Amino acid sequence: EDQVTQSPEALRLQEGESSSLNCSYTVSGLRGLFWYRQDPGKGPEFLFTLYSAGEEKEKERLKATLTKKESFLHITAPKPEDSATYLCAVQAADDYKLSFGAGTTVTVRA
Amino acid sequence: KAGVTQTPRYLIKTRGQQVTLSCSPISGHRSVSWYQQTPGQGLQFLFEYFSETQRNKGNFPGRFSGRQFSNSRSEMNVSTLELGDSALYLCASSSGPGRELFFGSGTQLSVL
């Protein structure tokens, strides 16, 4: 069974204080690893898809990287509007569903 | 381009009742998935449909069912509601395997 573990559970940052979120996974053949952002009361918002080890993607202050066992989401010089729960999910090569981690709740104080 | 639309946004039901939730995917997307989100269990996969066929089903009891219509719109039904069915039900659409899922805002179901 696919397993996704995210750490830490919660992260409190000062505005401008860069940090990283971790997503470790176990899957029998990775088709893709996905990062989402979710605000309270809303559905997850797609951020990135990573397909193979060594791949990196960037969007504004966010950068996602992938190895064979884990992915990192780096937040550079965060702003209060980056406060959200960040979810990681994997899709196995022989499956269509996403298996999600529990998420990391990020709070950025001004 | 319109996003994924889910109706209704909120529902309050009592135990034993049944409920039907509706989802309209992004235009052109033929794959629709449903997820249940609760504070304790996080996001759990319910089922996935493609071209009116259920391709995958999660570990939920038979009280949870769904279907997809020829226009790719989807519905899910929960019969004989239990208190533990209270959750945010999320629908997502995708253009194909390995492609990103785009989620709707969800239907918040409360079972009293």
Return all residues near B35 (Cβ < 8 A) that are at least 6 apart. Answer: A100, B43, B44, B45, B46, B89, B90, B91, B92
A43-61 pLDDT per residue, tens: 999 999 999 999 999 999 9
pLDDT band at A33 (very low <50, low <70, confident <90, very high): very high
Would you state the torsion angle of the CA atoms of residues B90, A95, A65, A79, taken in this order, to the nearest 10 degrees?
0
Which residue from B4, B33, B90 is facing A97, i.e. has the nearest CB? B33
pLDDT band at A95 (very low <50, low <70, confident <90, very high): confident
Residue B15 parent element (H or E): none
Cβ pair B42:A102 closer than 8 A:
yes
A95 touches chain B (CB under 8 A): yes
b/e for A28-49, b at 16 or more Cβ within 10 A? eebbbbbbbbbeeeebbebbbb
DSSP A25-70: EE-SSEEEEEEEEE-TTS--EEEEEE-STT-EEEETTEEEEE-SSE
A89 touches chain B (CB under 8 A): yes
Return all residues near A57 (Cβ < 8 A) that are at least 6 apart. Answer: A48, A49, A50, A63, A64
Which residue from B31, B98, B103 is facing A44, i.e. has the nearest CB? B103
Residue B36 has pLDDT above 80, yes or no: yes
Report how far residue B80's alpha carbon sits from residue B92's, in angstroms, rounded to the nearest whole number: 25
Residue B94 has pLDDT above 80, yes or no: yes
A60 touches chain B (CB under 8 A): no
What is the nearest CA distance from B38 to chain A, expressed in angstroms? 10
